[in-house]
Structure formats: structure tokens, C-alpha cells
Amino acid sequence: MLTPRRIRLVVAALMAGVLVAGLDQTVVAVALPTVVGDLDGVSAMAWVTTAYLLAGTLVIPIYGKFGDLWGRRRLYLVAIGLFTAASVGVALSTTLTTFVCWRFVQGLGGGGLMVLAQAIVADIAPARQRGRYLGPIGAVFGLSAVAGPLVGGFFTDTPGLGWQWCFWINLPIGVAAFAIAAGTLTLPRLRATAPIDHAGIAVLSLATTCLVLLADVGGSGGWVSWPAIAVAGVLLIAVGALVPIERRAAEPLLPPSLFRNRVSLVALALRGLIGVVMLSAIAFLPTFLQMSSGLSAAGSGLLMLPMAAGIMVSIQTSAAVIERTGRYKAVLAAGVLVLAVAMIWLSTLSGGTSLWLVGGMLGTLGAGLGLIIQNVVLVAQNAVPPVVVGTATGTSNYVREVGATLGVAVFGAAFTARLAENLGAAVGAHPALATAAGIDTPDGLVPAAVAATAEPLHTAIVDGYAAALTPLFLGLLPVLGVALVCTLVLRELPLAQLAGLVARGEAITPGTDR
């Protein structure tokens, strides 16, 4: 039976998995300038993040659907195990190619951790009370946003350690998370007989890959270039084939019913739009802070503390409001407006911006995200029957990751293209100063080299980073405008009174998913 103690144990297992995935993402953000500089890959910086996002995006709907069909416990253990094993491969990488490949494998595991955690919470808690459990999970993710940059900065800056330890640290945490989940996560094991949607998995994977490649190729090489046109053609063919495949499938990976449901459709659109904003806004901020403000990796990590605090406070506050009132529409609209304020404020960043102001900007960004990221999942889950809550959760997370991947690819490509041009011009204009600072090419530029440069080259590099990044924040405002429209047209449904397992007539007994 669903006793409070059993629920707490299950949530503890979920929090451990979310911690290890969240920690890895933020560790990479801070270590990124040093990693790509050591591996001579500044021009391919965006792919370090995009590879992880692409892999996670490919598997999210699979985890969601298979959890509905077969139960979620074993899938959760597989996800943690795969993520932890791949972390070893990343730590041992000696080239950017192997680094990116292992990051892709990490994404195959990490992609399942959040979606399965959210679906399991829907199993054990009614919608109106769900925020009290999603809140701690979101808080752990917020803590990882603090711990990751600090740990990453410590390892990156400490002689004798290096960025590799940003990934070695995943090994003990991952093993501990696996042990906690194996010992506490006792959920029903289902035995569905419906055929797997193999065609849907294959075609959706192809479409997703083409979408990301199109964003990257188009953003860096031109949207009307032959490579972009070829990828776009394959994408259109894949999407055209996916629609009839999913209509005919007995258990479709992306059920058409989710897109015919108006509430579900609006929630999915909002989820994707916020995904674009979230990752695009924060992916390259630590790099900017290290290069333009002269901060160490640890210092830029410490500046992420206000964002994490904003996420934690707004998640917990909004969860309490929704549980007390049963209303969520105004909370989502407020989150979009707060994010718009954050984007406008962030667009004023420069090398001379006060660190106190930077903290305020990031705190505002976190507050906006916290009002939306967990609550929009609640809306998507509440709009569908309990038997497909995992599929709905997976689809919601898939749409978010598509948005995040597109955002990082498009805005990242624009950032790196502008950055390469700006840094090339800066180094070319001052070759003697660049040689004296040990800068051979812009691709090998690391924070230590920037700190060692003399004027006027130092100012030219700082201005190059600012000119490449800050316009992207204003470019996100139209995306937020569409998101605000979504919150205004969203129909507010009463929140479900029963937990998913209770509504489906399933029982939790020890060992049922062993």
C-alpha cells in the first residue's frame, strides 16, 4: 500500500538519479572552455552539449512508453547504469571526437532519469499533491546546478586534478544512486502483449537526428546550402512517414491522441518553447563569465548559485500555491513574464558588469524557470488518462528536449560563428601580443590564456565574447511571446484526486518489480 514511508523511499531513489544527471550537465557547463581548449575544439564547442541533448531526446519517448508497458523500475536502473558507465569513457577521452561520442552515450542513460522520475511521481501521488514530491526533485536539480559548477570549478582549477575529475565524480554518485534505487524502488512489473512500435522508434530517431543536424548545419553553414537542403529533405520524408506509422501502431511512441487533446497540445507547445529558452540562455553563460569577467571556473560556478536559489524557491512556492488552490494557469503565465524580464536584463551583460548584477540576472532567470519547468509537466499528466501517463510524460520531455536541442544548436551555432569571427579578428589584429600570451589560434583559447593577454588584445577578446553572446538573449524574446500566448489560451482542468497506481487499480508490494 502507498504509505507515507514508502512514498518517501521512492522519492529518495528518484532524487538520487536526478542528482547525478543534473550534476553532470552543470559540471560540463563550467569545465567547457578548458575542455574544448585542451582538446583543440573551440569551433565545435556547441556539439559537446548538443550530443548529450540529442541522445537524451532520442530515448525519452522510448523510456516513457516502455514504462507504461512494462513498469518503470528496471528501466530506471538501466538508465542510471548506462549513464555512470559512460562517464568513465568521457573521463578517459583524449580527443574531442571521443569526448563527444561518450557524451552521446551518457545522454542515452541520462535521458531516462527525469522522465521516469516524473512518471513515477504521477504513479504514487494525485495531481493536486504532486507538487510536494516534484518540488524536492526539482530542488535537487537546483542543488546540482550549484554543486556542479562548484565541483567542476574546483577540479578544473586544481593542479594535479583537471576537468577529467568532473566525470570521475559521477562514478561513486552513480553507484550510490543505483544502490538506492535497487533497494527502494518497488513498483509493479507489467507484462504488456502489444507489439513494440519498432517503425516509430526508427523513424522518430531519424527525424530527430535530422532536425538537430539541420539546425547545426543551417546555423553554421547557411540554411540554403546543399548540406542543409539535403538534411531538410530527409527530415520532411521522415516526418511524413511518421504520421501514418503512429496512426496504425497498436502502442504508438507518440500517440496522435495527445495532439488531438487541446490541453495536452498547448502544454506540449509551452514545454518545447521553454526548452528553447532554458538551454539557450544558460549553456554558454559560464564560458562568457570566465572569458569576459576574468573569473576562474570555480568563480563562474559560484555565480550560478542565485539561479539555483531562484529555481528552488519558485518551485516550492508554486507547488504550495497549486496544492492549496488547484490552479496553475496564472503560475505559468507569471513564469513566462519573469523569464522575459531576465532575457532583457541579461542582454546588457558586458565585461564590466558588476558581479552583484550578474547574480540578480541569474536569480531572476531561475525564478522564472522554477515557475514553469515542473508545473507544465503536471498539466500534461493531468490532461490524459492514468494508463498513458508515462507516454504523456515522455512526449512532454521529448518536446522539451527537441526545443532545447534546437535552441542550443541554432543559438550555439550563431554564438560560435560570431565568436570565431570576433576572436580571429582580435588575434589577427594583435599577432605579437597573441604570441606573447601563448595563443596560436582562437580554437585553442582557454581562460588562462585570456587572463595572460595584455591590452589592447585582452579588451578585444572580451568585447568579442560580449558581442557574440548578448544579442542572443534578445533573440529569445519572440519565443517567450509565443509561450505567453500558450499560457493565455490554456484551458485549466480540475486536478486529479487519485494517484496513478490507485486509478489504474494496481498495488505496490515489495519485490513486485524484481
364, pLDDT greater than 90: yes
pLDDT given for residue 298 in this prediction = 61
Rounded Cα gap, residues 362 and 369, in angstroms: 11
**Is the distance from CB of 347 to CB of 104 less than 8 angstroms?**
no
Q: Give ∠ CA 500-504-509 in degrees, rounded to 5.
A: 80
pLDDT given for residue 11 in this prediction = 82
Largest CA distance in the chain: 74
pLDDT given for residue 449 in this prediction = 65
510, pLDDT greater than 50: no
Query: pLDDT (tens digit, 9 = 90+) per residue, 169-179?
Result: 788 878 887 88
Average pLDDT over residues 265-284: 86
Pairwise pLDDT comparison (113 vs 351), residue with the higher score: 113
Rounded Cα gap, residues 92 and 477, in angstroms: 40
pLDDT category, 124, cuts 50, 70, 90? Answer: confident
Residue 494 corresponds to which cell in the numbers above? 480540475
Say which CATH superfamily domain 4-197+249-493 falls into: MFS general substrate transporter like domains (1.20.1250.20)
Range with the largest mean pLDDT of 56-70, 117-131, 244-258, 480-494: 480-494
**Is the distance from CB of 91 to CB of 152 less than 8 angstroms?**
no
Q: Catalogue the long-range contacts made by 305-308 (C-beta closer than 8 Å, 24 or more residues apart).
A: 305/146, 305/359, 306/359, 306/360, 306/362, 306/363, 306/366, 307/145, 307/282, 307/362, 307/363, 307/365, 307/366, 307/369, 308/142, 308/143, 308/145, 308/146, 308/366
49, pLDDT greater than 90: no
- Give the closest residue to 383 by CA, choosing from 329, 324, 338, 339: 329
Q: Which residues of 313-349 are buried (b: 16+ CB within 10 A; e: fewer)?
A: bbbbbbbebbbeeeebbebbbbbbebbbebbebbbeb
pLDDT given for residue 481 in this prediction = 95
Determine which of 263-277, 325-339, 461-475 has the lowest per-residue pLDDT on average.
Answer: 461-475
> Which residues, 6 or more positions from 320, have their beta carbon under 8 angstroms from its beta carbon?
131
500, pLDDT greater than 60: no
**Is the distance from CB of 15 to CB of 137 less than 8 angstroms?**
yes
Residue 433 corresponds to which cell in the numbers above? 601580443
pTM (2 d.p.): 0.80
pLDDT category, 509, cuts 50, 70, 90? Answer: very low
**Is the distance from CB of 56 to CB of 401 less than 8 angstroms?**
yes
pLDDT category, 107, cuts 50, 70, 90? Answer: confident
Pairwise pLDDT comparison (157 vs 262), residue with the higher score: 262
Amino acid, res. 1: M
Rounded Cα gap, residues 12 and 137, in angstroms: 9
145, pLDDT greater than 70: no
> Which residues, 6 or more positions from 331, have their beta carbon under 8 angstroms from its beta carbon?
318, 321, 322, 371, 375
Rounded Cα gap, residues 203 and 28, in angstroms: 30
Q: Which sequence spans correspond to the domains of the chain?
A: 4-197+249-493, 198-248
Query: pLDDT (tens digit, 9 = 90+) per residue, 302-346?
Result: 777 888 888 888 988 998 898 888 889 999 999 999 999 999 999
Collapsing DSSP states into helix, strand and coil, what is residue 440?
A: coil
Count other C-beta atoms under 10 Å from residue 478's C-beta: 9
Q: Taking all residues of the chain, what is their mean pLDDT, rounded to a whole number?
A: 80
Pairwise pLDDT comparison (449 vs 227), residue with the higher score: 227
| Cis before 456? omega within 30 | yes
